[in-house]
A = this chain, B = another copy of it.
């Protein structure tokens, strides 16, 4: 064990013992270095490790604080480390949940997108208007796959900012991350192939597997630390897996992130078993740059990682512009897009390219991250104060999802329908599993401010949860 890990363990033990409690400030880096006789760098690494585990949080210019009191959820022990599914059959349910979220009067706890008022809609509309006016007569052909060169260069530069070297040639612009993820999976597999996913997983992965008639192996994913890599190794050793599809940062629905060491081990595992990795990293821009987080793509040595992302979660939803940095699969993926949807809407590509190259984008992202962080914290506190103690809220820093474990008597799918009737949406746990494993879990969107309306909605949930728990 490295020195910084030993230190992290030691600090964690003391937090668990109550030496520092939820909300307490930790000693400064310098002070701890002095106390332990360690270098500043070692202490910083230890603090970052604790932060990535959600045990502590950094507050700009103030230092490190112990994360608010939270429960650690009891699974992954509550189900097998993996399961096998031939048919996920999830799509009808997703469809009905998404349809219900279209009603504007509904409190959108079930939404997968950040509060749209956090997006610079007017500013990007101006970029779009500008792009529309400046279109060359040959713009349709110019923006065929792999997509607009200016946009690909801009994305490549954003990779460079976090230390990744990704050539514009490797990037394919798509209709949102949904298309990039789907095209990637379609390229890598044929009917009946094995694919590794998380449990719980983004429902888009379950849908794609259903559509392409693949076999899913879902691996237990810890709500704090991410996929169980021992289980993954066991699966890779025993099944002819073609691809893994997962999220190592702000996992959907859990909200957790894998440690850097975990990411590196993950890459080495897929490499040694010669498996391709579809990395869904749609929340990447919600990362604070200075926290040094990287995607698994960072460790990619031989182009086997297809890194999929989009602007729908960080800049604007509904424009449908995403991309995949497809490594060695770049050209094949261009061809597949060409025969699936031909190309991504050209004015959209140009509008996004214009906006993300301006200073406005960084400024917006800084504000977005701050707002989301504050709102998630506030929502967490509100849920803790309002919901019964039998509800466990999985606290993670970053992103905008909270994953709740309800009393086992509560059927979350039933709860979903009851809540919709009362004007409140939520994402029932079974959306994220083909095996009905999360029927007393829900995912809540924590990107909205805690208005009176939100408080009422949480009261409604409280009431429904209590009623359902009693009934059985």
Listed in ascending order, the chain A residues whose CB lies under 8 Å from chain B are 91-92, 94-95, 98-99, 101-102, 104, 111, 113, 116-117, 121-122, 124-126, 128-129, 132-133, 135, 137-144, 175-176, 178-179, 182, 186, 190-191, 204, 207-208, 210-211, 213, 312, 317-321, 334-336, 338-348, 351
Closest to A103 in B: B141
Please name all residues of chain B whose beta carbon is closer than 8 Å to the beta carbon of A312 when the two chains form the complex. Answer: 140
A321-B342 Cα distance, complex, nearest whole Å: 11
Closest to A108 in B: B141
Is there an interface contact between B125 and A342, defined as CB atoms closer than 8 Å? no
Sample 17 A-B pairs with CB under 8 A, ordered by A number.
A91-B339, A92-B335, A116-B138, A117-B137, A125-B132, A125-B135, A128-B129, A129-B133, A135-B318, A178-B339, A182-B341, A207-B339, A318-B347, A319-B346, A320-B345, A320-B346, A345-B348
Contact of A95 among B117, B143, B211, B338 (CB under 8 A): B338
A318-B349 Cα distance, complex, nearest whole Å: 11
A312-B318 Cα distance, complex, nearest whole Å: 21
Closest to A92 in B: B335
Please name all residues of chain B whose beta carbon is closer than 8 Å to the beta carbon of A335 when the two chains form the complex. Answer: 91-92, 95
Closest CB in chain B relative to A154 CB, distance in Å: 19
A343-B348 Cα distance, complex, nearest whole Å: 14
Please name all residues of chain B whose beta carbon is closer than 8 Å to the beta carbon of A319 when the two chains form the complex. Answer: 345-347
Closest to A132 in B: B125
Most buried by B among A91, A121, A175, A346: A175
Please name all residues of chain B whose beta carbon is closer than 8 Å to the beta carbon of A135 when the two chains form the complex. Answer: 121, 125, 318
Is there an interface contact between B346 and A140, defined as CB atoms closer than 8 Å? no
